[in-house]
Structures are given as C-alpha cells and as structure tokens.
Chain A
C-alpha cells in the first residue's frame, strides 16, 4: 500500500483538494452529507493538506478534515502578489513544513495549485523545493493555468510561477488549463466545479491505479519514468464509457482533446505516455489494446500500459502524457511577456512620477533666496 500526500495550495488548490476528498467518499454526485455516512475509499494511505492565507477559502471546503486545513496567517492575504506570498512562506516555512512532517512518510506527493494566484503560485515552488531538500520521494505539481482574459497580473504570475516550479526540483508538472476547459459549465462557479471534478477524478483514478494489481506493467516506478521524460511538463487525458464501448474508442477518446486537461496534439507533442485501462474483462481485448497503444507509441516513443480488471465496469482509460514541447504554453508565455512589458511600462510611469517627486524634493528644506 502506497503512502500518498496531496497538498492543495491557495484557493484553487484548496478547492481541487476538496473535490478529491469528495470523490473519495464515492462518486461525484455525493451530497454534502456524504461525509456523515460514508468512508473515503482510498486504496492507499492518502493524506491531504490545504494551505491558504485566506481563511474564508479554507472555510469553504466541505470534505476535507478541519485538521487538514492549515491557515497561514497574513494580515491582508497576499492579493495575487507573489512577492508577498514568497515572503510569507519564508516567514512561516517551519510551521508549514511541520504540518507535512506530522503527516508521516510518503512514497509520492502531489501539490495542487493555480499558477496565477498569489498564495498558491508563490508557495508551491518554495514548498516543493523545501520538500525535495528534506524528503526523497517524488513530488509532482498539478498546476491550473488561468483564463487568458483574467488580466496581465495573472498571466505574469503564471509565467513566473511555472518557471520557478521547473526550477524548484519538482519531479513533474501536470498542466490543467482553465481556458481550455472553460466550455464546461455555465457560471464561473459551475465551470470551476466542473473543472475541479475533472481534475479530481483523474487524480483519484491515477492514485487508485498506482496502488492496484495491474496486468501488464505500470507501477509507481513506471509513472516516475514517464513523468521524468520530456520537458518536465505533462497533462492527463481520461475517458469513462457510460455504455458498452469498444476499447479502441475508449483509448482514442482518452487521448483526444475532449479527454485532455491541456490543449496539446498528443501524437505531435508527447514524449512519453502511460495508458491505464480499467473495466470488465470482456471489454479488454488485448489485441485491440495493443494495436491502439502501438499506434501511439509509434508516434510518441515509449508507452507504458496498465490494465486493471474490474468486474461489471465499462471501459475507462487514463492517459498520462509528458510533453516535449507545448505550443499552447508558448502562446501563453508570449501573452505573458506582453503582459510583463505592459506591467513594467506601467511601473515605469509610476517610477517616472516618483522621479518627478525627486525633482521637486531637490528644493526640500530650501527657502527661496531673494
């Protein structure tokens, strides 16, 4: 049995963590009261921690134990300012690390955050760095990219935090893009919930698979291998059949844009892949699976495949794909650069105004002489 740690940082990270906890109670449709009568169905020893500077974000959570919600006090939150966030983290580092320490020893850790907020995006790189220094288990980040229209500050934050994450020593960054997933729901809140549920479902499936007896290959070691490939960036695809579906179709769907969390052309951009197939034995035609996987590996490189037999279940397929290039990310960065310049220019103007002040200040203390 694996010991798994899942951390959610900032509002976005907290919410996704809560969704993970909710789904662990069984099914996405579970009501608020599920925690009173049900038990979380983690296969592994899963510990969760939510960090936030905003106490209201922590209060909003419903399915995460109170003791797993950690408030990092700071007078006014960090207000999307990553520099303040970093300073707060440094100040409270020991307290934060003690929370993790207390949860015990782990085989693997995931840290979930938005790339663009203040708290989560500034805490996560520092936290990962700290964890990597202290522990030798792999730490993966699940990072949510902002809607592009959310403003220059968020774009800039996303750009910098992603770079810092790659430098932090994280064993991999799994991308989920709000912009890509936004067509999911009506209101922003519904869209958030829908996206969170998608991400949570994939994480849980992955956790479950990692701790399951699998035919063929794939275990934690294989996951590590997959994640270490490419540019250290990855995403996840998923398909769950609601009716009898040929396994080929299921695999194709898990690799198609509808199943992915981040916009990418799998056959073009992926460098390594892991495909986990779950379902009743009758759907699991080895020939069909093999032919479909071969198609992928022909384009991608190495593909790990795992099969989990579950009686009576329709086919479900999870794909983990590491990317050697990410066109979409480049796009984001180019927008972000513009944003940074824009911000810089703005700041310059402010500084020029300050310059003007200096000009005026030259005559400070002086009296006109006549």
Chain B
C-alpha cells in the first residue's frame, strides 16, 4: 500500500507532461508552398520575406518583420528551420524544404504555427513584392473622456456632461459605436449634442465630440457617473473596446423645497354645559419654503357635538365641516372658526385629517403629505335642566299625570267660576 501511494503523484505528473507534450506538438501547417525571391508571406502583422534564393548553395535568406520592424533575419539550408514568437504566446516555425531556379528563383517552405488558433488569423497570405508591398493593420485606441462642469451640486441642479473621443492608437478606428448607459440618480434634462449611430472612422490622432448633455440630480449622495463605452474595429476589422473615465459627483440634499403645513385646532372652552356653544379655532400655517396645494382639512365631529355654523370658507359635507385651500403660500397662515353645539353629555375630542401636496422643485410629481390632529378633551356637562331628562319613565308619567290632573282641576274650577 505504501508503494502505491508514492506512485500516484508520479502518475499524475506523467499525464500532465503527456498532455503538455501533446499540445506543444500540436503544430498546425499554415502554408506549404513556394515563395518567390523578393516575395513574402504575411501572418497578421508579421511578414516573412524570402530575400534571396541561392539555388546553387541550396540556401535561402529571410527577414521577419513585425509590422515595420525587422525582428529576425537569417540564412536557411534545406530542411533547416527558424522560429519566432507570434503575439504573446504563439510561435511560428518556418522550414525551408527546397529551392528552385527559374526566371525568378523560389523557395519551397513549410510554415507551421503552434500555440495559436489558426482560425484567428485575419491575414494569412502571400505578399507579392514582400515587405515593401505589405500593409499592416494597426491598433486603434479610442480614448473617451467624460467631463462634468461641476463636481458638487444640489438636488435639482444640473451638470453638463461633455464626452469626447480621441483615437490615440496607431490605426484608424472604424465603425465606432458609443454607448452611454442610463444614469441612475439623475434625469436627462437636455441633450445639446449626440452622435447618431456609429462613427464610421476615427483616424489616428483625431478627436471628436460624442455627447453634450445636461443631467439633473434627483438624489443626494456621491455617485460615479457611468463610463461611456465604445466598440470599434481596426482596418483589419479587429474588434476593440474602450471605456471612459467615471467622474465622481457629489449631490447635496439642500436645495429640495418643501411645504410644511402646521395645524392648530383649539376650542375656547374645556368644559361646557349641555346645549352650550363651543367655538373651535383652526390655524393652518405653511412653515415650509414651497407652496402647499390642495390643502384640505376634514373635521370629524363626535356624535354629541353638532356643527352650528362658521366662516363661510368652511363647507359642510354630511354635517362635518371641511376646509379646502387651493394654495397656501409659504410663510402664510389662515384662520378659521366655527361654532359647535353640545348636544349630549360626555367627553369628546374633535379629530381632523389634514392633507396637502407640494412640488419640491425637483421632481415633476407632487409630494403628498397628510397628518392627523386632535383637540384636547371637551367635557360636556349636564345642563341646568338636564336632571329633568334623567329621570326614569315613571317620573314623566307621574309628572304628566300630575300636570293632567292640574289641568283638569283648573279647567273644572274655571268652569265652576265662569259665569
């Protein structure tokens, strides 16, 4: 058992090596054929140029360019090969198979690649005339700058966002498509300028405006504006992406306006005799900095109190008074009073339901507020003659009988003495 344990790591290592070996040895033939003297073979931005073919010597000399830069040169014998690095990881191997004489001497080569997916090659072809005739696609790089005119504003205020794009790459950018994601916490107030659709080409060094617009802040906080992204291709139709900076902005609470309607609801008497009158005074005061609209106070009267009348601005709906004010300007107040009649003995409070709305100067929609108020307790005590009504029925019956008897008696006496 001990033996077996020692073998397992070895076994694993073996398989890994085997796999790597398999991959490394997975060479793909890109080209097998002739390259005339002075011609080249281009693999993307790499160009292999056969500069001279020496038939008698069975050799051929070569240059390797990565774009305009020569990165390798040498002289190959038949069946001899050289390698150069391709992009990051790839490797290209060029082997000379034979040389041939003719009007223009030529070399037969085999070009293989490893560690690279041949399908990704966008140029894989002979170049007649070699380096001098080759064209290489560059890397465009669109640098997007998102600028804001202010970095700290209040809610409801606006910033101007300017987005510019500059190709700081070495190749023209084609079909540049910009995307500016919708910005949370802001509303788009106004668009001054906007590129429409894709920009067909931005040359190297060229700078263009992309967007100019105004954003209105709706929420307090510190936010990063979302970056503008661009997608584009180079002349070789290779796709590129870039994104802008994300400017930071601080939005302050301060500037939202609000209406604040304060209400006081009082009664002139804490205690009143039944059938007495109570005067209730209501003061509505807007202590906010925005006008209150549709201010409405619904007063709920308890059973024992009855509305008798009041200021003409007080309407009654089903016996309950209501006050409605279209607009109560900031720092304004209004006073109302009305008279109540105490119908029944008891302890009461008068309840009021206040509602109003206002515009905070930021949001388009009005903000609705509501509040509830209550008066202090009102004690309705017995009226002067109330005890009369508190007697049990028989008392009334007796009273009526007595009154009746008195009536009859008086009538009788009247008749007795009426001559």
| Binding partners A and B | yes
Of B95-103, B151-159, B183-191, B408-416, the one with at least 4 CB within 8 A of chain A: B408-416
* C-alpha spacing A26/B415, complex, angstroms: 21
* Contact present for A59 and B410 (CB under 8 Å): no
Q: Which residue from chain A places its CB closest to the CB of B416 in the assembled complex? A: A65
Q: For chains A and B in complex, what number of residue pairs have CB atoms within 8 angstroms?
A: 21
* C-alpha spacing A67/B415, complex, angstroms: 10
* Contact present for A36 and B413 (CB under 8 Å): yes
Which A residues from 21 to 54 make CB contacts under 8 A with B?
35-36
What chain B residues lie within 8 Å of A35 (beta carbons)?
413, 417
* Contact present for B419 and A61 (CB under 8 Å): yes
Instruction: Decide yes or no whether A58 CB sits under 8 A from chain B.
Output: yes
CB distance from A339 to the nearest CB of B (A): 35
* C-alpha spacing A69/B418, complex, angstroms: 10
CB distance from A299 to the nearest CB of B (A): 46
Which A residues from 44 to 88 make CB contacts under 8 A with B?
58-59, 61-67, 69
Interface secondary structure of B, over-half rule: helix
Instruction: Among B409, B413, B415, B419, point to the contact of A59 (Cβ < 8 A).
Output: B419
What chain A residues lie within 8 Å of B417 (beta carbons)?
35, 62-66
What chain B residues lie within 8 Å of A69 (beta carbons)?
419
* C-alpha spacing A144/B332, complex, angstroms: 92
* C-alpha spacing A65/B416, complex, angstroms: 5
* C-alpha spacing A42/B183, complex, angstroms: 114
* Contact present for A36 and B410 (CB under 8 Å): yes
What chain A residues lie within 8 Å of B409 (beta carbons)?
36
Q: Which residue from chain A places its CB closest to the CB of B414 in the assembled complex? A: A36
State the interface size on chain B (CB cutoff 8 A).
9
What chain B residues lie within 8 Å of A67 (beta carbons)?
416
What chain B residues lie within 8 Å of A36 (beta carbons)?
409-410, 413-414
What chain B residues lie within 8 Å of A59 (beta carbons)?
419
* Contact present for B419 and A58 (CB under 8 Å): yes
What chain B residues lie within 8 Å of A64 (beta carbons)?
417
* C-alpha spacing A58/B417, complex, angstroms: 11
* C-alpha spacing A36/B416, complex, angstroms: 10
* C-alpha spacing A65/B414, complex, angstroms: 9
* Contact present for A66 and B413 (CB under 8 Å): no
What chain B residues lie within 8 Å of A65 (beta carbons)?
416-417
* C-alpha spacing A69/B416, complex, angstroms: 11
Q: Which residue from chain B places its CB closest to the CB of A64 in the assembled complex? A: B417
* Contact present for B418 and A66 (CB under 8 Å): yes
CB distance from A7 to the nearest CB of B (A): 17
* C-alpha spacing A62/B414, complex, angstroms: 10
* Contact present for A66 and B416 (CB under 8 Å): yes
Which B residues from 385 to 416 make CB contacts under 8 A with A?
409-410, 413-416
What chain A residues lie within 8 Å of B415 (beta carbons)?
66
Which B residues from 43 to 73 make CB contacts under 8 A with A?
none
* C-alpha spacing A115/B399, complex, angstroms: 52
Q: Which residue from chain A places its CB closest to the CB of B419 in the assembled complex? A: A66
* C-alpha spacing A275/B409, complex, angstroms: 40
CB distance from B315 to the nearest CB of A (A): 53
What chain A residues lie within 8 Å of B418 (beta carbons)?
66
What chain A residues lie within 8 Å of B410 (beta carbons)?
36
* C-alpha spacing A61/B416, complex, angstroms: 12
What chain B residues lie within 8 Å of A63 (beta carbons)?
417
Q: Which residue from chain B places its CB closest to the CB of A62 in the assembled complex? A: B417
* C-alpha spacing A36/B414, complex, angstroms: 7
CB distance from B61 to the nearest CB of A (A): 158
CB distance from A14 to the nearest CB of B (A): 11
CB distance from A166 to the nearest CB of B (A): 33
CB distance from A54 to the nearest CB of B (A): 12
Chain B positions 281 through 321: 1 when the CB is less than 8 Å from some CB of chain A, otherwise 0: 00000000000000000000000000000000000000000
Chain B positions 224 through 239: 1 when the CB is less than 8 Å from some CB of chain A, otherwise 0: 0000000000000000
* C-alpha spacing A61/B418, complex, angstroms: 9
* C-alpha spacing A67/B418, complex, angstroms: 9
CB distance from B195 to the nearest CB of A (A): 112
* C-alpha spacing A214/B110, complex, angstroms: 177
* C-alpha spacing A35/B416, complex, angstroms: 10
* C-alpha spacing A332/B414, complex, angstroms: 43
What chain A residues lie within 8 Å of B419 (beta carbons)?
58-59, 61, 66, 69
* C-alpha spacing A35/B419, complex, angstroms: 14
What chain B residues lie within 8 Å of A62 (beta carbons)?
417
Q: Which residue from chain A places its CB closest to the CB of B412 in the assembled complex? A: A36
* C-alpha spacing A255/B367, complex, angstroms: 107
* C-alpha spacing A63/B410, complex, angstroms: 14
The residue among A35, A58, A63 with the most chain B CB atoms within 10 A of its own CB is: A35
The residue among B409, B414, B416, B419 with the most chain A CB atoms within 10 A of its own CB is: B419
Q: Which residue from chain B places its CB closest to the CB of A63 in the assembled complex? A: B417
Q: Which residue from chain B places its CB closest to the CB of A66 in the assembled complex? A: B419
Q: Which residue from chain B places its CB closest to the CB of A38 in the assembled complex? A: B413
Q: Which residue from chain A places its CB closest to the CB of B411 in the assembled complex? A: A36
Which A residues from 9 to 27 make CB contacts under 8 A with B?
none
Q: Which residue from chain B places its CB closest to the CB of A67 in the assembled complex? A: B416
CB distance from B405 to the nearest CB of A (A): 12
* C-alpha spacing A352/B80, complex, angstroms: 208
CB distance from A17 to the nearest CB of B (A): 13
CB distance from B419 to the nearest CB of A (A): 5
CB distance from A192 to the nearest CB of B (A): 20
CB distance from B141 to the nearest CB of A (A): 123
* C-alpha spacing A241/B413, complex, angstroms: 34
Q: Which residue from chain B places its CB closest to the CB of A58 in the assembled complex? A: B419
What chain A residues lie within 8 Å of B416 (beta carbons)?
65-67
Chain B positions 155 through 187: 1 when the CB is less than 8 Å from some CB of chain A, otherwise 0: 000000000000000000000000000000000
CB distance from A266 to the nearest CB of B (A): 39
CB distance from B418 to the nearest CB of A (A): 6
Which B residues from 311 to 335 make CB contacts under 8 A with A?
none
CB distance from A365 to the nearest CB of B (A): 55
6 closest Cβ contacts across the A-B interface? Answer: A66-B419, A36-B410, A36-B413, A65-B416, A69-B419, A59-B419
Q: List 21 A-B contacts (CB under 8 A).
A: A35-B413, A35-B417, A36-B409, A36-B410, A36-B413, A36-B414, A58-B419, A59-B419, A61-B419, A62-B417, A63-B417, A64-B417, A65-B416, A65-B417, A66-B415, A66-B416, A66-B417, A66-B418, A66-B419, A67-B416, A69-B419
Tell me the B residues contacting A by CB distance below 8 Å.
Answer: 409-410, 413-419
For the complex with contacts A65-B417, A66-B416, A69-B419, 17 further pairs of A-B residues with Cβ separation under 8 Å are: A35-B413, A36-B409, A36-B410, A36-B413, A36-B414, A58-B419, A59-B419, A61-B419, A62-B417, A63-B417, A64-B417, A65-B416, A66-B415, A66-B417, A66-B418, A66-B419, A67-B416
